[in-house]
Structures are given as C-alpha cells and as structure tokens.
Chains A and B, each alone.
Chain A
Amino acid sequence: MKEPNSANTPPNNGGVKRDTTALVKATLKRRYAAEKRFRWYGIIAIAASLAFLAVLITSIFIKGYPAFTHSFVKMNITLDADTLGISESPTDKELRAANFAGVMKKSLRERFPDVKKRGDKKALYQLLSNSGEYQLHDLVKANPALLGQSIDVWLPADDELAAIIKSGSDLSDPSSIVTRMSEQQIGFAKVLSDAGETETRFNKAFFTNGDSREPEQAGIKAALIGSALTLLITFLLSFPIAVAAAIYLEEFAPQNRWTDIVEVNINNLAAVPSIVFGLLGLAVFINYLHLPRSAPVVGGIVLSLMTLPTIIIASRAALKAVPPSIREAGRGLGASDQQVVWHHVLPLAMPGILTGTIIGLAQALGETAPLLMIGMVAFIVDIPQGFTDAATVLPVQVFLWADSPERAFVEKTSAAILVLLVFLILMNAVAVLLRKKFERRW
C-alpha cells in the first residue's frame, strides 16, 4: 500500500473510470489520522480511569494518615484527694466518681496563671480531651500511692488542638489557620508548643477504642471485631454450602428442568442488588424469626446468602477445570462417584475454590447496604463479645463517621477506609498468590 506501482494502474481514459489507487491515496491521510485518534481515545479512557483511581486513593490517604497520630500535652497534675473529692484510700466506686476533670482544670489554671475571666478559663479547659480523665483514673487505680503527689503526665489534646499541632501550622499567625479554635486558644497552644510541652505520637486509641461522640476518643476496634465476627459466620455458612452446591451442580445433577432453573436462579441471584438481601434479612430473620437486631449472626447470614452465588460460580469453574480423565481413572479403580469427588476432584479444584471464596468474602467485608437494613448501624462503644451482641462493621462505621459534623471525623473516616482497604488488599493478594502458586494447566 505504501508505494503503489503506477505502471500497473489502468490508464485514465477520459475521467470515466477513476483511479482507485489515487482515491485511496487521497483518503489515506484522513484514515490514518482517524486510526491514530481512535487509538488515543482508548488510551485516554484507560488513563482517565486509572487517574481517578489514583486521585481517590491519594486523597483518602492524605486525609486519613493524620488520624494515625495524636497530639499530647504535658501537664503537671497534683492528685490531691481534696480536689478529687475522695478519701485517702479510696474504694473503686469512689475512684470512678472522682473529680479527675477538676485536677486537670486546676493544673491548666496553674500552667496559665494569668487567665482569670470565666470565659477565658472555659476556653482554656477546652484544650484537653476529657479522655484524660480515664487515663488519670487508670493511673491512680493501678498505683494508689500516687494520691497526694504531683506528677508529670502526657494527656491527650482535644481534637481541634491536635489538628493544628499535627499539621505543623504556624501558631504565631492565627489568621492563617483553619480551625474552630479562637485566637486566644491558639495563643495558649503556642505557649505550650514553644515550651516543648506538646508532642505527637502514634494514636493507639484509634485501634483500641470503640466508637465515641468525641473524635479524639473514637476508635475502630469495635467495628473491626464486629467485622471479624460477621465474616466468620459468613465463611462458616457460605463455604460448605457453596462447595456442596457447586459439587452437586457440576458432578451429580441430572440434565433436567430443575437443574436448569437452579442454574438460572444462581446467576440471577448474583446480580440482585445487595439492599434487597437486606430487606430479606429484615423481614425473615428479624421480624419473623426474631433473631436479635444489630447482631453479627444475622449480618453473617445475610452476607452469606449474598456471597453464595459468587462462590458457587467460582467453585463450579474450578471443578469444571479438572479434566475428566481424573474421574475416569478413579472410577476405573473402583471408587464410587462420591469417592472420586471427595478424594480426587475436590482436592485438585480446591485452590480455585479458595480463591473464589476469598474474593467473595472480600466483597462481603466491604458491603454496607444490607447491614443497614438489619440494624447494624447502632452506635457501638463496647467491643462485641459474641455473635449475638450488638455490633457494627468497618464499612458501616465509615458510613456513620462520614455523617458526623465534626471536622476531626473526616480524618477518622479516611483512616478507617485505609484500614478497610488494607484488609481488602491483603485478602485479594492472598487470592492472587493462591492462584499463582497452585494453578494447574492440564
């Protein structure tokens, strides 16, 4: 096409018969340009999708990573029994009711002796998180000898204060800082930070606390445990049932109408919106069978119904990939149909089945909508202890925090998303490894 040989082209007799080669040549430039453009459309489509993925992950990472650290303020606390309102050797009950907030306020007043007005004092008190009270309580409970002494402790800062310390803002220029704190409070913060009495550390509370209305005390442990319990139920139910269903359909089912219906049904179930499974759970398990609301057991049942089709389809593909010669050899040696399946076909198909199961479970881990229906949106402070305790799961926790008005919850939400994504990546990585390591081409 590149160098058309003009000698071979028929002569142009009077414009009646036009030269095709010339015609093609004339349009060639346009066609090549179109070719190039078409190629670019493809590249642009892929690049745009991947760019979006990158923007999504980076933006969440940037918003989320500050939540993994928290700022602390060094305070000199005098634990005298009078201010605490307890006796010299207090009982546990007295300790629980003790006025730890009082000693914290007192030490703040001592640190800033110039603050006299009531409003100013109130602004001052807002610098510390009230979770410091629990820290002091635990400290005294563990070591009652501290009573009456004056000690240096690092107490957690309030979320607004922590945010400006962590971001490394220029505290001498309050107008440049976006915060809900007043200029006066920023002034306090500057004094503390200049004296080296503030410090930013790893935020352990984020991984050891349940939910809280106070952003600096809110953690994901309750949601993590809830997710683990729910996912365990999902696995225990969906794995054996899905494998059994796949074995039946692939190895034993007769070719008849009923089998056809079951197959079409499974394919359709895989595409039913997840929220409909939530409606099923609400109507059948909560309202009809009276199982407890908000419980991991119900969440697990609903999610396993939802993941069953995924696992069944993957397991069938894995079973189908085992060549018939394996089955014939087994039968030839006198094994029964079931022995062939249990002893030979299933073990060979297991890597594929496990891969499908992990992918199904990863889906279940990220699922939110059906769990909202069965009441797993509760505000959960306590770590769930069993399958019937009220619980929430990680994605629902993300949803709840995303709804909170406090600015500090934005970073908590993003951090929780990061934790969720880490788990999803781990699960998918295991699935990929399994496939790579054990996949067999027959």
Chain B
Amino acid sequence: MPITTLLLLALCLAFVSFVIGRQKAYAIAGANGGTRALHSLPGHYGLMVGLWCALPALAIIIGWKLFEGPIVSSMLDSSIPQAIHDGGTKVVDLYKNEINNLATTVNIALETDAVKQAAANRLITLRSYSSVALLILTLSVAAIGAALAYRKIKVDTHARPIVERIVHFFLVASASLAILTTVGIVFSVFFESMRFFQEVSIVEFVTGTKWSPQTSIRVDQAGSSGSFGAIPLFLGTLLISAIAMLVAVPFGLMSAIYLAEYASARTRAIVKPLLEILAGIPTVVYGFFAALTVAPLIRKLGENIGLSVSSESALAAGTVMGIMIIPFVSSLSDDVITAVPQAMRDGSAGLGATKSETVRKVVFPAALPGIVGGILLAASRAIGETMIVVMAAGLAANLTINPLEAVTTVTVQIVTLLTGDQEFDSAKTLAAFALGLMLFVTTLMLNIIALRVVRKYREQYD
C-alpha cells in the first residue's frame, strides 16, 4: 500500500475518532445538564481523541519508513551468494541494487540468473510482508490510542489544556524548523567539505590558480590528477557580480530617488509594481535571454568596434544579472529614503537648497547606511545567483578580469559537478560541497552585516 494512501487512511480514522469523541462529550453533557457542566468544549474532547488516534499512528508510519529500508536490506543478506559477500560492501551494494531493479521492474525481462531472481522474489515477499505489517500496526495503534482517549472523556477531564499543550508543542516545533534547516545546511555542506579537504588540502583549494576537476578513472591516464585551485572561480564570481552591481546600483538607486522624492503618488503606484515584475521573472528566463539575445548582441557590438568578445562573456551575464537586481536595490533604497524624516528635507529647503541638492547633501548621507545595507544584500544575491551564469557564462576556469572573456563562477561549477551521474565519494563531487560551503559562508556574512546595518539604521530614526 503506498504511503500516501496509508496517511490518508490514518487521517480519516482521526476524523472519525474526532466525531465519536465529540458525540460522547455531548452525550455526557446532556446527562449532566448541558455543555456548561463540562470542563472543556465538546470539540476539545473530540480533538483530544482525534489527536490520540493520529499522532501515534503517524509516529509509527514515519519510524517504519525510516528503518524499513536498512532492515529489509540486511534480511536480504542471507539470499546473497557467499562469493558476492567476499567481494566487500561495494560489490554487495551493487548486487543488491540489481536485485532491487529486478524486483521493481516487473514487466521488463532482464537477463538474469536464478539466484538473483530468487533473491528478487524474496525481496518482493519481504516488502509485501512489511507493507501488511505496517498497515496492521498503524491501524491497531490508531484504534488503541483513540480508545484510550475515548475512555478518558468524563465531565471533569481537562481536554482543552491537553489539546492546547499538543498544539503549542507543534507551534514551537514549526518555529524551530528554521533552526533545523540551518543546522541541516551547515552539517551537510560542512561534512562533505571535510571529506573533500581530506583529499585536497584546504590551502591548495583556497590559493590554487588552476581549476580542472576532471579526475581520471585509471591511475595511468593522462591528466589523472584533477587540480582544485578555486581562485579562478572566486575571481570569476567577483567579476560577474561586480558588473552586475555596476549596472544595478546606479539604475536602482536613481529609480528609488526619483520614486521617493519626485514622482507623484500616481506615477509611483504604477511604476513601482512594474519594476518589481523584474524581480518576479524566473532567473532561468533571464539566463535564456542573456545567452540567446544579449550575448550575441554584445559580441556583434564588439566586432563592430574591433574587439573580440567571447560568446560567453562575463559582460553579458553580468549585465543581465544587474538588471535582475535593479528592483532589489531600488525597493530597499526606497524604504530607507522614505524613512528619512521630512523635517530634514524641510530644513534643507528652508536654507535655499534645490531639491536635488537636498537629496544629494542631506537625504542621501542620512540614508547611506541603509542603502549600503541594501546594496550588500543585493551583492549577496548576485554572488549566489545560479541560472543566469549557468546558461550565459562559461565553463572554462580562466584567470582573468577582462569582462569580454568567458569566466566561470562558483555556482556554475557546483551545477556542472553535480548534474549527471556521478559517484558520491569522488573528489570531483565533494568539491561541489566545498564550493557550496564557501558560497554559504560568504553570503551569510554579507547578510548578517547587511541586516545589522539596516536594523541599526532603522532604530536611528524610529
């Protein structure tokens, strides 16, 4: 039975228990002179029974699914010939994989031997046993839970506090999930990176200038040792992000100043959402546009003035990324500029300054910390942006700061290293996690600084 059906079944049972529990509460109330006699509302009694039914059942299902795989797999060991066992864990895993394929694909006749077929049949039997056992266990646990709670329903059962305690726990757990996500990110990226740094020294990774992650399969193959010097990637990322910021900051900032200081309320109401569309367009669309329209255009322009421009130039990717970031810069700066107290503008105007002088010499300096915070947030977005560079920037790790040449970035390399089939313990795949760690740490630091600056600035005028 598929897990979704089982979950739905458990939910239905819980609902039935809720109804039954509430009915009993009403019955008891009726016998004691109305619902006022009860400690809690009838619905609370129903919820209590429903939760007692659903929660243990859910726990059983989740626990079962977590441990089912390894247990079934170890039970299969006896069906595997001794010769395979002698070959070590990798061979056994491979063999089990084949058995698994055999057991799942029923229709396709794979060529196979009798031992494997027998093992596959055993696997199918084991799985069906497991599925039936899970069904029975879940249903009985749900029933027992509901029955226990049902018996507890009395006039003075404190159903509401019980239910509210469970709900409160759920609320706390949900809020803590954010922490769990961060911990998950840190652990997954960190541990895989540590495995990588056991093979490649961290010094080589951070200071090396040659990046070619292709490791060979045979030892004697040409170019067998991949080199993992990440400097070209860092430089490429910086180059493209810098181009993006060169586009985004002037355009974004000037738009924000115009919208906040000059535009009429009507213009503002129309232009602001239009600008924000730019932020809502999926990055894969920008990538497609950069690769197909902007890059050839820049190339042709370069040819016209006698420059050779690579078709995957950093300039194309950077420009398009900058345009994507304009709304981030403009809406963050807009917030900050409108937060500058009106009295400061009035004071400046009273001394005879023109509007632009007021903006440049009074409002802008006052808003500067907030604007810098916003620009840092935008920069962290540029560094972490993936699809535009995957589609429009290059793959070759050139060590250059010439914006007309192709460079590659950290995110491009993560994607190329991890898409397609790969072994999970080669230095090549682990390198992606090391790059991910660098990316995570860099953007996290930028974000923390930016958020702190913005927050501090807000307090200044509150």
A283 at interface, CB cutoff 8 A: yes
Q: A46, B259: Cβ atoms under 8 Å?
A: yes
Q: Which residue of A253, A279, A402 contacts B175 across the interface (Cβ within 8 Å)?
A: A253
Q: Quote the shortest CB–CB distance from B131 to chain A (angstroms).
A: 15
A312 at interface, CB cutoff 8 A: yes
**Beta-carbon nearest neighbor of A428 in chain B:** B280
Q: Which B residues touch A266, using CB under 8 A?
A: 178
Q: State which of B80-88, B147-155, B163-171, B394-402 sits at the interface with chain A.
A: B163-171
Q: Which A residues touch B277, using CB under 8 A?
A: 53
Q: Which A residues touch B287, using CB under 8 A?
A: 399, 402
Please tell me the number of chain A residues within 8 Å of chain B, measured between CB atoms: 87
Q: Quote the shortest CB–CB distance from B364 to chain A (angstroms).
A: 11
Q: Quote the shortest CB–CB distance from A359 to chain B (angstroms).
A: 8
Q: B185, A368: Cβ atoms under 8 Å?
A: no
In the complex, A197→B285 CA distance in Å? 37
CB contacts under 8 Å to B, within A38-59, are: 38-39, 41-46, 48-50, 52-53, 56, 59
Q: A38, B356: Cβ atoms under 8 Å?
A: yes
Q: Which A residues touch B443, using CB under 8 A?
A: 271-273, 276
Q: A46, B255: Cβ atoms under 8 Å?
A: yes
Q: Which residue of B167, B283, B326, B354 contacts A368 across the interface (Cβ within 8 Å)?
A: B283
A219 at interface, CB cutoff 8 A: no
Q: B175, A399: Cβ atoms under 8 Å?
A: no
- Given A282-B418, A398-B288, A49 and B385 contact (CB-CB distance below 8 Å): no
**Beta-carbon nearest neighbor of B190 in chain A:** A283
Q: Which B residues touch A368, using CB under 8 A?
A: 282-284, 386-387
A143 at interface, CB cutoff 8 A: no
In the complex, A227→B343 CA distance in Å? 51
Q: Quote the shortest CB–CB distance from B432 to chain A (angstroms).
A: 7
- Chain A, residues 330-341, CB within 8 Å of chain B (1/0): the string is 000000101000
In the complex, A332→B190 CA distance in Å? 51
- Chain A, residues 307-334, CB within 8 Å of chain B (1/0): the string is 0110010000000000000000000000
B225 at interface, CB cutoff 8 A: no
Q: Which B residues touch A44, using CB under 8 A?
A: 254
Q: Which A residues touch B91, using CB under 8 A?
A: none
B128 at interface, CB cutoff 8 A: no
Q: A56, B356: Cβ atoms under 8 Å?
A: no
Q: Which residue of B292, B357, B415, B451 contacts A402 across the interface (Cβ within 8 Å)?
A: B292
In the complex, A274→B181 CA distance in Å? 13
Is chain A's interface secondary structure helix, strand, loop, or mixed overall? helix
Q: State which of A89-97, A181-189, A239-247 sits at the interface with chain B.
A: A239-247
Q: A45, B185: Cβ atoms under 8 Å?
A: no
B278 at interface, CB cutoff 8 A: yes
Q: A241, B255: Cβ atoms under 8 Å?
A: no
In the complex, A19→B158 CA distance in Å? 87
Q: Which B residues touch A375, using CB under 8 A?
A: 419
A87 at interface, CB cutoff 8 A: no
B444 at interface, CB cutoff 8 A: yes
Q: Which B residues touch A338, using CB under 8 A?
A: 164, 167-168
Please tell me the number of chain B residues within 8 Å of chain A, measured between CB atoms: 90
Q: Which B residues touch A372, using CB under 8 A?
A: 415, 418-419
- Given A265-B182, A271-B443, A271-B447, A45 and B432 contact (CB-CB distance below 8 Å): no
Q: A241, B174: Cβ atoms under 8 Å?
A: yes
Q: B182, A398: Cβ atoms under 8 Å?
A: no
In the complex, A366→B285 CA distance in Å? 9
Q: A273, B448: Cβ atoms under 8 Å?
A: no
Q: A269, B285: Cβ atoms under 8 Å?
A: no
In the complex, A322→B171 CA distance in Å? 19
- Given A53-B278, A410-B292, A42 and B257 contact (CB-CB distance below 8 Å): yes
Q: State which of A10-18, A29-37, A144-152 sits at the interface with chain B.
A: A29-37
Q: Quote the shortest CB–CB distance from B260 to chain A (angstroms).
A: 10
In the complex, A49→B283 CA distance in Å? 16
Q: Which residue of B170, B257, B280 contacts A362 across the interface (Cβ within 8 Å)?
A: B280
Q: Which B residues touch A49, using CB under 8 A?
A: 251, 255, 275, 278, 323, 326-327
In the complex, A373→B439 CA distance in Å? 15
Q: B250, A308: Cβ atoms under 8 Å?
A: no
Q: Which B residues touch A153, using CB under 8 A?
A: none
Q: Which residue of B69, B185, B283, B323 contacts A52 across the interface (Cβ within 8 Å)?
A: B323
Q: Quote the shortest CB–CB distance from B97 to chain A (angstroms).
A: 12
Q: B444, A272: Cβ atoms under 8 Å?
A: yes
CB contacts under 8 Å to B, within A361-419, are: 362, 365-369, 372-373, 375, 377, 386-387, 395-396, 398-399, 402-403, 410, 413-414, 417
Additional pairs, 17, CB under 8 Å, beyond known A290-B69, A369-B386, A424-B281: A35-B355, A45-B250, A46-B259, A50-B274, A248-B174, A252-B168, A268-B182, A269-B181, A272-B443, A272-B444, A272-B447, A372-B419, A398-B288, A399-B284, A402-B291, A420-B282, A424-B282
The 7 closest A-B pairs by CB, nearest first: A273-B384, A42-B258, A366-B282, A283-B188, A38-B356, A244-B174, A45-B254
30 contacts between A and B (CB under 8 A): A35-B355, A38-B355, A41-B258, A42-B254, A45-B252, A56-B289, A59-B289, A60-B285, A242-B174, A248-B171, A252-B168, A264-B451, A268-B447, A268-B451, A271-B380, A271-B443, A273-B440, A274-B384, A274-B386, A276-B185, A276-B436, A283-B188, A283-B191, A289-B66, A369-B415, A372-B415, A373-B419, A395-B282, A399-B287, A421-B285
